[in-house]
Amino acid sequence: MHTLRLAARLCGLLIGGCCFAAPAFSQSISLSITSGPPTSQVLVSGSGFSADAKITISFDTTTLAHTLTDSSGSFSNVAIRIPASATPGTHTITAAQQNSTLKAQAQFSVRTNWTQFHFLASHLGLNLFENVLNTQNVANLAVSWTFPTANVVASSPAVVNNIVYVGSNDDSVYAVNARSGSLLWSFTTGALVQSAPAVGGGNVYVGSLDDNLYALNATTGVEVWKFKAASAVASSPSVANGTVYFGSDDFYVYAVNGATGALFWKFKTGGAVTSSPAVANGVVYVSSEDSTLYALNASTGASLWKFKAGGGMSSSPAVTSSAVFFGSNDDNVYALNPTTGALLWKFPTGAAVTSSPAVANGLVYVGSDDGNLYALSASTGTLSWKFAAGAAVSSSPAVGNGVVYVGSVNKDIYALDAASGAQLWSFTTGSTVTSSPIVANGIVYVGSSDTNLYAFALP
pLDDT tens for residues 281-327? 999 999 999 999 999 999 999 999 999 999 999 999 999 999 999 99
| Amino acid (1-letter code) at residue 164 | V
pLDDT at 9 over 60: no
DSSP, residue by residue, 66-121: EEE--TTS-EEEEEEE--TTPPSEEEEEEEEETTSS-EEEEEEEE---B-BTTBST
Three-class secondary structure of residue 9 per DSSP:
helix
Question: Could you give the strand order of the β-sheet that contains 54-59, starting from the edge strand earlier in sequence?
Answer: 35-36, 103-110, 89-97, 54-59, 62-68
Average pLDDT over residues 193-200: 98
Burial class (CB in 10 A: 0-12, 13-18, 19+), 150: exposed
Say yes or no to pLDDT of 4 above 70. Answer: no
Which pLDDT score is estimated for 25? 61
Mean pLDDT of 337-365: 98
What letter represents residue 452's amino acid?
N
Contacts for 166 with CB less than 8 Å, ≥ 6 apart: 153, 155, 156, 157, 158, 173, 174, 176, 196, 197, 445, 447, 453
Beta-bridge partners for 452: 148
pLDDT at residue number 253: 98
Give the separation between CA 32 and CA 45, rounded to whole angstroms. 8
**Are 212 and 246 within 8 A, CB to CB?**
no
404-443 pLDDT, tens digit each? 999 999 999 999 999 999 999 999 999 999 999 999 999 9
| 3-class DSSP state of 321 | coil
Overall average pLDDT of the 103-122 stretch: 98
Beta carbons of 379 and 365 less than 8 angstroms apart:
no
List the chain domain ranges: 28-110, 126-457
On average, the pLDDT of the chain sits at 95
pLDDT of res. 2: 39
Would you state the CATH architecture of domain 28-110? Answer: Sandwich (2.60)
Average pLDDT (444-459) is: 98
> Would you say the C-alpha torsion 394, 181, 160, 36 has a positive or negative sign?
negative
Render pLDDT for 21-67 as a digit per residue (tens, 0 to 9): 334 569 999 999 999 999 999 999 999 999 999 999 999 999 999 99
Class at the top of the CATH hierarchy for domain 126-457: mainly beta
The span from the CA of 355 to the CA of 394, in Å, is 4
Question: Residue 254 region, left (φ>0) first, then alpha (ψ -120 to 50), else beta?
Answer: beta
Q: How confident is the model at residue 84 (pLDDT cuts 50, 70, 90)?
A: very high
Bridge pairing between strands 13-15 and 142-148: unpaired
